[in-house]
Each structure stands twice: as C-alpha cells, then as structure tokens.
Amino acid sequence: MFGQLVPCGGGNPLPLLKTRVLIGRSAECDVSLASGSVSSKHCLLEQREGAWFVTDLVSRNGIRIDGVRCHEGNLPPGSVLWIAQLRFQVEYALAGGPGPAHRTPSSWSRHSSRTIKSASRLAALSNCRTAFRNLLPNRASLWENSFRAGAAHRYRF
C-alpha cells in the first residue's frame, strides 16, 4: 500500500494500492466514489519521487488542496484533498524518510501564515462594514434633504 485517503467526516479509509490512481464515480476508476457531485473520471493521483501529486481531469466541481481550488498540485502528507464536496486527508510516508503520515512542523508554519491571512481578511471585512455603517446616516440625510426640497408632494401620508 502506497498510502490512503481518510474521509474527514469519518468512514473507511481508501487505500492507494498503485502509483497511479484514477478517482471518479465510474466503476472503471481505481477508486469509485458514489456521489452525484463527483465526475465519472474526476482526478488522477500519481506518486512522483515519493510524494503524491493530483491532477484534475476537467471535472465539473473540481479539486481543492487544503481548501485552495486548483487544477493540479502536490499533496504533502496530512494535506486535505477535496474531490468535489468530499474531503479526504492524505496519509502516507515520504519515500526515504521515517516521517509519520501526519503534518510536520514545516506544514504547520504554512498553515499559520494562512491563519494570519484569514485574520487580515477578517479585519478588512470589518473595516468595510464600519465604512458601510458610516454611509448609512449620510444616505438618510440625503433622503431627508431631497424630501424637504420638493419631493414631499409625491408622497401622501
């Protein structure tokens, strides 16, 4: 066995028995997923130089690696592969290394930078909300001014 895909929501792991694994809904695929959101031939997993690599086969709902939509990419041990709406944690040992099949400290630093980016996006969103709230009184005063300036005859109370 060259590794396995562990469903993030629970369930039996899917073993990766070959160095090239075709994943899709079709019975012809090496790993068949019974989900309507998965294309008949969704993606191809290949082991290159001891690491797994995924390629999207022009599927409708695409693939994501650690939440980032992509056409192809490297799958380090412990990364999360999204196949349409299904999520799997990729577990394998790197060739030539005793490494466990979970995240290493180098991948933790990669994810902490994403956390920082998410926090900065959240702060920017908060700033946008504040700016929008500041616009509301101005819009109300514009409406009041136009109402006083002669639009009152259009409204009957």
Percent of the chain residues topping a pLDDT of 70: 60
Here the contacts of 42-51 (C-beta below 8 Å, separation 24 or greater) are 42/83, 42/84, 43/83, 44/20, 45/16, 45/20, 45/21, 45/75, 46/19, 46/20, 46/21, 47/2, 47/16, 47/19, 47/20, 49/95, 50/94, 50/95, 50/96, 51/75, 51/76, 51/94, 51/95
User: For the segment 46-88, what is each residue's pLDDT rounded down to a tens digit?
Assistant: 999 999 999 999 999 999 999 999 999 999 999 999 999 999 9
Q: Is the pLDDT of residue 155 over 80?
A: no
Q: What pLDDT sits at residue 106? A: 43
Q: Average pLDDT for residues 93-111, to the nearest whole number? A: 53
Of the CA atoms within 13 Å of residue 93, those in its CB half-sphere come to 7
Q: Is the pLDDT of residue 43 over 70?
A: yes
156 pLDDT band, cuts 50/70/90, is low
144 pLDDT band, cuts 50/70/90, is low
Q: Average pLDDT for residues 117-133, to the nearest whole number? A: 48
Q: Is the pLDDT of residue 31 over 90?
A: yes
Q: Is the pLDDT of residue 133 over 70?
A: no
The β-bridge relationship of strands 20-24 and 80-83 is unpaired
Q: Is the pLDDT of residue 110 over 90?
A: no
Asked whether the beta carbons of 52 and 35 are under 8 A apart, the reply is no
